[in-house]
């Protein structure tokens, strides 16, 4: 461990924050797959299973808003560790006897897990702002992209992990093994994270929860529509369509979607090379607008292919892969811009407000996905997705247009 002690303090803290976030994300993805497969085995429909996660998203909206204020008052180390502890409690709730494992109980555990996830994510993203010098925006973009991309890749890996643990150890054994592993991560995090990381010099007021920055307001609104556009067809409509129309079994569906999420995360990690390396300039509002316009075309083209029954399966799978690449770039751009726009004093307030909009988009997309697919089919979900992305693009016109030189 001598080499670790020789690293600069900010690098060591970045490694602790990232490792903490990775461990949490892996268990979060595995837990979602465990719940999906377990209740699928009990005979629940995909729509009913999706509704188990509504509280997960609802409490994510609340947590991101209040969590930013808590981070500014308590410090990001504490909010990150509180998030880990709450995930441990959520896992423990699922270890009750099977007779007590009702839908309401699982929804409550998922609500607690949603609070934990967004506390952890808000803390991790906010911490990066404080660990990178103000004049090193190029490094900031790379670190944010790496953190965001690796998180999504590990979330996909968590899907696989959940399935493997369920097969090898059963539901209770899988939950217990993840709980034990997360306890060790939590104890290490308590010891390793700086005690004053992210704590505002002046106590943040509760009235400061809502951002007063027009750039952050525009970006948050764009983020809401961007993630609503993804989940409006990806969360419920797509897996149900793959199972019902293409006759894929649920292992094939979950494996394909897990692979998609992993690939999506890997592309996010390479986003800086795809968007700014040749010009040595960092992305701004014009980049956010251009990439969103390009992304909006993909769901519309898939919808047309399905409507005219033109190689439907190939068009859907190929379109989904292209959508994943472009969505990853859009998401990574947004993640960099919010950290860049956020003020260092009370950074978690700005980041928390932004991720509140992100959670609201996921919630909106999840509900609309179930309703639109059940009422009108996948095609309407895709057209709605395209409209949401166009809205995000138009909102991006309100973002600053400057292009600072990368350091």
Averaged pLDDT for residues 210-236: 84
Residue-wise pLDDT tens digits, 60-84: 778 777 766 676 667 777 888 888 8
Average per-residue pLDDT in the chain?
Answer: 78
- Tokens for 99, please give them: 């007779």
Closest by CA position to 112, among listed 134, 135, 85, 130? 85
Which pLDDT belongs to residue 401?
A: 75
Asked whether the whole model's pTM tops 0.95, one would answer no
> Is residue 66 a contact partner of residue 359, using CB atoms and an 8 Å limit?
no
Instruction: Answer with the residue of higher pLDDT: 393 or 27.
Output: 393
Q: Is the pLDDT of residue 326 over 60?
A: yes
Planar angle of CA 67, 27, 371, nearest 5 degrees = 75
Range among 111-120, 233-242, 304-313 with highest mean pLDDT value: 304-313
- Rounded distance, CA 304 to CA 315, Å? 10
Averaged pLDDT for residues 38-43: 74
Q: What confidence category does residue 293 fall into, taking pLDDT thresholds of 50, 70 and 90? A: very high
- The CATH class given to the 8-198+207-396 domain equals mainly alpha
- Tokens for 309, please give them: 């029954």
| Residues 64-76 as b or e (16 or more Cβ within 10 Å = b) | bbbbbbbbbbbbb
- Rounded distance, CA 327 to CA 229, Å? 10
Residue-wise pLDDT tens digits, 238-260: 887 887 788 877 667 767 877 88
- Rounded distance, CA 98 to CA 10, Å? 46
Biggest alpha carbon–alpha carbon distance for the chain? 63
Instruction: Answer with the residue of higher pLDDT: 271 or 259.
Output: 259
Instruction: Answer with the residue of higher pLDDT: 384 or 6.
Output: 384
- Rounded distance, CA 320 to CA 315, Å? 8
Which pLDDT belongs to residue 132?
A: 61
């Amino acid at each position: 461990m001598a080499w670790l002690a020789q690293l600069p303090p900010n690098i060591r803290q970045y490694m602790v924050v990232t490792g903490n976030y990775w461990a949490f994300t892996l268990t979060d993805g595995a837990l979602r797959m465990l719940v999906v497969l377990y209740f699928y085995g009990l005979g629940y429909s995909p729509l009913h299973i999706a509704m188990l996660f509504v509280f997960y998203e609802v409490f994510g909206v609340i947590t991101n808003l209040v969590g930013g204020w808590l981070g500014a008052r308590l410090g990001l180390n504490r909010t990150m560790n509180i998030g880990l502890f709450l995930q441990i409690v959520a896992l423990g709730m699922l270890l009750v006897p099977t007779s007590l494992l009702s839908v309401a109980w699982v929804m409550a555990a998922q609500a607690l897990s949603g609070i934990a996830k967004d506390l952890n994510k808000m803390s991790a993203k906010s911490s990066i702002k404080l660990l990178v010098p103000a004049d090193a925006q190029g490094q900031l973009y790379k670190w944010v992209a790496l953190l965001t991309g690796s998180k999504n890749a590990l979330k996909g890996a968590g899907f696989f992990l959940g399935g493997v643990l369920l097969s090898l150890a059963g539901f209770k054994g899988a939950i217990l093994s993840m709980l034990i592993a997360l306890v060790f991560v939590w104890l290490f995090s308590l010891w390793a994270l700086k005690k004053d990381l992210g704590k505002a010099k002046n106590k943040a007021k509760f009235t400061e929860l809502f951002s007063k920055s027009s750039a952050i307001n525009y970006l948050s609104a764009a983020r809401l529509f961007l993630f609503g556009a993804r989940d409006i067809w990806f969360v419920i409509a797509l897996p149900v369509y793959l199972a019902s129309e293409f006759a894929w079994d649920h292992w094939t569906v979950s494996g394909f979607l897990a692979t998609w999420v992993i690939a999506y995360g890997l592309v996010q990690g390479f986003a800086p090379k795809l968007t700014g390396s040749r010009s040595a300039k960092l992305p701004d509002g014009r980049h956010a607008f251009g990439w969103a316009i390009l992304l909006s075309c993909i769901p519309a083209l898939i919808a047309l292919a399905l409507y005219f029954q033109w190689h439907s399966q190939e068009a859907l799978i190929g379109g989904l892969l292209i959508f994943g690449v472009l969505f990853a770039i859009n998401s990574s751009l947004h993640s960099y811009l919010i950290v860049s726009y956020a003020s260092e004093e009370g950074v978690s307030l700005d980041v928390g407000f932004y991720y509140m909009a992100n959670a609201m988009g996921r919630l909106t997309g999840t509900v609309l996905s179930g309703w639109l697919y059940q009422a009108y089919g996948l095609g309407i979900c895709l057209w709605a997705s395209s409209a949401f992305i166009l809205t995000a693009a138009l909102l991006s016109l309100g973002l600053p247009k400057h292009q600072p030189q990368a350091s």
